[in-house]
Chains A and B, each alone.
Chain A
Amino acid sequence: MTDRDILMRKIATYDFAIVELNLYLDTHPKDLDAHRKLEDYESKSLELREFYEEKYGPIVFRNSPDNRMKWIKNPWPWDLCEGD
């Protein structure tokens, strides 16, 4: 597994916790403990996302000539790790 894959797996782990807490809070909006956990995971994900986007290109697209080239570039999410 490449460094890039390992980093993406860490991001996906935090993002999964975010998705899960977000659904939970839709039906339990007053659970402050869950709110705190969500905020914690959001800041951890953001930190890793900034590092990833700086190194490998955008996860969410923001326009600039440099970003456009990185956005277009392989791998796309369905591509195999080998980068073919």
Chain B
Amino acid sequence: MWVYEKKLQYPINIKNPNAALAKIIISQYGGPDGELGASLRYLSQRYTMPYPELKAILTDIGTEELAHLEMVGTIVYQLTKNLTPEQIKEAGMDAYFVDHTAGIYPSSAAGTPYTAASMQSKGDVLTDLHENLAAEQKARTTYDNILRFCDDPDVIDPIRFLRAREVVHYQRFGEGLRIATDNLDSKNFYAFNASFDKCCKNNKN
């Protein structure tokens, strides 16, 4: 279960609205490599993880991703506050506006609604950890691409924080992969699926 804390993980206070930026940053809310997908991916994968360290790291990173989802929602909310319909049209956000007004809706920058088709929970410890390593790098690239379009320090600062977290999570998943392979037969990591086949769960569990 979870308990809500009435605070952001990192402070956000954006003074100048900018609908053009909001239109691209929404992708990290509900896009293919966004925070919603990240959280759902890790919190779904953890059930079949065979080793306790992996259950812990997926739960804790999956939880941190929810805090990041709230941060991205806050950035988009503050970037679109007090805008006129004319300013929204000028920034190219009119297509979003007609369906959602200034509401925060999980979609990609190109307007595709959030879809679980962009993530995987494969039920195989090695496959899932590699999925997560790739996911952190994809999110890091997306933040790098968002930073190419940012010139407002109020936006750059929290986006850089979120980008740095992708790098740290990648590191932790790399250690998770090492923990998994240390538990497996070093001659053939793929002899069994440790998330499914009972025969290969060793006494560490």
Give the shortest distance, in Å, between B65 (CB) and chain A (any CB): 12
| Residue A51 at the chain B interface, CB threshold 8 Å | no
Q: Within the assembled complex, what's the spacing in Å between the Cα atoms of A77 and B71?
A: 9
Q: Within the assembled complex, what's the spacing in Å between the Cα atoms of A58 and B61?
A: 25
When the two chains form their complex, are residues A11 and B7 in contact, meaning their CB atoms are under 8 A apart? yes
Q: Within the assembled complex, what's the spacing in Å between the Cα atoms of A78 and B72?
A: 10
When the two chains form their complex, are residues B57 and A15 in contact, meaning their CB atoms are under 8 A apart? no
Give the shortest distance, in Å, between B100 (CB) and chain A (any CB): 16
| Residue B10 at the chain A interface, CB threshold 8 Å | yes
Given contact pairs A16-B10, A60-B3, A24 touches B172 in the complex (Cβ within 8 A)? yes
When the two chains form their complex, are residues B11 and A27 in contact, meaning their CB atoms are under 8 A apart? no
Interface residues in A28-46 by Cβ distance below 8 A to B read 28-29
Q: Within the assembled complex, what's the spacing in Å between the Cα atoms of A81 and B13?
A: 7
| Residue B73 at the chain A interface, CB threshold 8 Å | yes
| Residue B176 at the chain A interface, CB threshold 8 Å | yes
When the two chains form their complex, are residues B7 and A77 in contact, meaning their CB atoms are under 8 A apart? yes
Given contact pairs A58-B6, A80-B81, A26 touches B11 in the complex (Cβ within 8 A)? no
By a CB distance below 8 angstroms, the chain A residues around B74 are 77-78
| Residue B53 at the chain A interface, CB threshold 8 Å | yes
Contact with B along A53-66 (1 / 0, CB 8 A): 00001111100000
- What 7 A-B pairs have minimum CB-CB distances, sorted nearest first? A27-B175, A78-B74, A26-B56, A26-B57, A77-B8, A81-B13, A78-B77
